[in-house]
Amino acid sequence: MTIDNQLDQESETESEVVANTDGLMMQLDYAAPSQISQVNESSDSLSEAQTTEHTQHVALFAQLNRSEVNFHGKVKSPLVFRDSLLALFDVVSSDYRYVPKDRSAYTVFMQMRRASSNKNLFTAQRDYFTWLFDNDPLAFCILDPIIQVHEQGVSFEVFSRDEGCYAQLTLTNEIFEQSAKPTLGTTSIDYSTALFDGIQQIRDHQQTVLDIGHEAVGLQLLETMPEADNDEANSTGTDSAFTAPTVKKQIIEKRINVPKSWIRALLQVQSAHQLPQDTIHLDPIALYNVLFELRMHADIKGKRRGLLIELRPQQLPIIVLEPFDITVTSQVSQQQTPYQGQQAKLIRLWGRHRLSLLKRLLPHADSVSVSLLGQGMPSYWTVTGKGFHFTFAMTGFSQANWSQSLNFDLLLPKRPLHNTLAASEGLSGSGKATLNARNNDNSDDNNGLSVLMTTLANTPSNLEDLVKSLSADTSLDPASVSNQQVQQWLLSGTQQGLIRYDVATQLYHYRPLTQAPLEMAQFAYHNEAEKQAFDLLSRADGVQNFSVETVAVKGITIRADIHVEEDRRTYHSQLQLGDEGLVTKAECSCPQYLQHRLTHGVCAHLIALRLRYNQYDPNNTSNDSWHDTRVLSKRVNRTVSNQESVPTKAANNSLKALPSEMTLDLTALTQQATHSHETANNKPQTLAAQETSIAYVYITIAHKKITIEQTTGNEDTRQQLVFNQPAQAKAAFLQHIARFEAKGFIENQGM
């Protein structure tokens, strides 16, 4: 985490607090700022391997209060190295949150400007940075990457400022020429704007050397100071002196209050890596076409802004850009594999403009794979090239809040309330007592997770190898070790920030996120209301009379009665979700909502209703709800005819107006064909054009009535069917869905 050291003594004493209610205070100390230096001639301050002329030395200084990690290697592909690190910086500094026009900050700035008009430059700058730290402390802040040196190479992990993008870059040993054995481990590196500017200057014709470590392998600026050696002077009988290089110390102390929501979202996105997913493969040119179309077509206010991915078994995936219905497919590569799933799916993603962060990697990419978790869920785009692979996670939200981040909360297992390694690292007395009490209840799970992390600390492994290794361990019961149990341990370790999963290689790495283990009680829930919501959801009679009603084009309405035994009351809650899964309207009969609406936060009943909707399965035939809507869609090609009689006549008149010597007469070749065509049809010639659009079908059941609405472009049709019994309507409802699916329509469950 980089922030300019603009704080005075008062702010430094206040920042010594370890944690507060808003965030987690972290301190990162570096020996010097990460830098790029260029050496044009031999120097005594550098080793022999670093004396090549015109060499770019990339010195990444590691965190001093973590275990020492060293890496030194000559870069074989400087352009790949440069563009991958620049793409990493683009992700860590990205912020796609909507910023409305607010003139209050401008008013305060003008007042400060008038107050500082008579001050000198230094005083005015000090007042400005003091005001900026008090009002917007994260203005110039980016979060330093987590770096891990392992057997396969060097891995970087970053998370964006808006809590919506995650990136993992791995530079394999194939891209380096190593002269010394690296020191394996995990640490943080200083990553600043100055380093970004230096990386941009890397060129292919210059040699590039990467150094990582506390002292960055001696790449600090060295200064020579004369020191007289009396013994040597007496023995030689001269007054000669020699110069010994000494390191110029420049300790950088960085303290920043990291928001807990940032850490919680980071842990969740990393954990979602391992959930069941659909994987498709694209050509790099297909991703380029998507970025090109997004750049050439601006978003339309009030229209859909999703990225539709159409998946059909044994067919190539098709990407559709809304609302323009532009289709992009991958048909260039001869090795392109079709979708291997068993069921056709239509998955909609949001935040598509974040894919532009991958544009630097496209010239070096050999393949692109996409892992899809579901409608509006995080998607993982892995770009693989020679010597690197870059995994980019694009979440469905720009900033984690209650209505958006809860989309995949229940997909993950129950979040741990304590850290497995907290006892060994040393907690406070109360925290250690709580941990020991919980360890007595879950001793088997904690023991299995500890053995699992010990195994991963020795060597990274995949799921199959881990199951074999843990089954042979004598400290564990072989009968309790299964694929499902090991996967639960892996998810628990990932949620605690102890394990990292690499999508490209499908290997698990032991990687502690921070030096001290995280106290998971601080990150288990967003607030107390969410904790109560999970408790209400776990009760048998907590959510009653749950119903889902989808209104065509408008969205989804969710209703339920939330029974609270402590209050001896039942509250009626209702939510309305838009097309993108965002909450557009919320109502509840609880006193908190009736008195304060949503100004004092969201009540636990609305959160419980939103979480209950995540468990709703519209395909469950045992659902007794008689209010349901299914949305199906299909790409269709419409023929658009344009009359050409008037343009043809105008063109002929323009040809006659031209001088004969400037006109090339080719009409004789087409007169006979045109004449025969007009005599045969006795109609003017028409030009047929194919236009791609998406046809939507909304099938709604309301007790005994079924409504079928079809929309194709600007054409709408509506049909209503009434039955004698609700059961008959339900059976006909399912039959109509099957009939449209037989015609090639795909059910879109996220509408």
Contacts of 530 (CB under 8 A, 6+ apart): 402, 604, 607
* In the block, residue with structure tokens 């070096």: 364
Radius of gyration of the chain (CA): 32
Secondary-structure percent of the chain, ordered helix, strand, coil, rounded to 5: 35, 30, 35
How big is the CA angle at 147 (ends 143 and 149), to the nearest 5 degrees? 175
Chain-centroid distance, C-alpha 54? 38
How many residues are given for the chain?
A: 751
Separation between Cα atoms, residue 413 and residue 272, nearest integer Å: 10
Which residues make beta-bridge pairs with 63? 30
Residue 243 is predicted with a pLDDT of: 40
Residue 162 is predicted with a pLDDT of: 81
How big is the CA angle at 719 (ends 717 and 721), to the nearest 5 degrees? 170
Q: For residue 593, which phi and psi values (nearest 5 degrees)?
A: -70, -40
Separation between Cα atoms, residue 582 and residue 566, nearest integer Å: 30
Contacts of 497 (CB under 8 A, 6+ apart): 263, 267, 512, 513, 514, 518
How big is the CA angle at 155 (ends 387 and 464), to the nearest 5 degrees? 90
User: What parts of the chain have a pLDDT lower than 50?
Assistant: 1-20, 41-52, 137-140, 218-248, 423-441, 643-681, 683-687, 751
Separation between Cα atoms, residue 182 and residue 186, nearest integer Å: 12
Residue 134 is predicted with a pLDDT of: 59
Determine the residue type at 176: F
Q: For residue 713, which phi and psi values (nearest 5 degrees)?
A: 65, -120
Buried b (16+ CB within 10 A) or exposed e, 457-469: eeebbebeebbeb
Which residues make beta-bridge pairs with 413? none
Residue 164 is predicted with a pLDDT of: 83
* Parallel, antiparallel or unpaired: strands 207-213 and 55-61: parallel
Where do the H-state alpha helices sit in 162-283?
193-199, 230-236, 260-271
Q: By the 8 A CB rule, do 139 and 132 touch?
A: yes
Structure tokens at 326: 């532009």
Q: By the 8 A CB rule, do 39 and 196 touch?
A: no
| 3-class state of residue 666 by DSSP | coil
Task: Give the C-alpha distances (Å, rounded to integers) separating 214 from 30, 61, 145, 238, 253.
Answer: 7, 5, 15, 39, 14
**Could you say which DSSP state residue 19 is in?**
B
| 3-class state of residue 292 by DSSP | helix
* In the block, residue with structure tokens 């990687």: 511
Separation between Cα atoms, residue 310 and residue 346, nearest integer Å: 5
Separation between Cα atoms, residue 681 and residue 113, nearest integer Å: 79
Separation between Cα atoms, residue 89 and residue 195, nearest integer Å: 10
Separation between Cα atoms, residue 372 and residue 307, nearest integer Å: 12
* In the block, residue with structure tokens 């003017």: 684
Which helix (H) or strand (E) segment holds residue 316: the answer is none
Question: How far separated are the first and last CA of the chain, in Å rounded?
Answer: 39
* In the block, residue with structure tokens 């020795």: 458
Determine the residue type at 38: Q
Residue 552 is predicted with a pLDDT of: 64
* In the block, residue with structure tokens 């809860």: 406
| 3-class state of residue 473 by DSSP | coil
How many Cα atoms are found within 13 Å in the side-chain-facing hemisphere of 226? Answer: 5
* Structural domains of the chain, with CATH: 53-97+106-213 (3.10.150), 260-410 (3.10.150.10), 528-615 (no CATH), 624-638+690-750 (2.20.140.10)
Contacts of 51 (CB under 8 A, 6+ apart): 39, 42, 43
Structure tokens at 236: 């030689």
| pTM of the predicted structure, to 2 decimals | 0.75
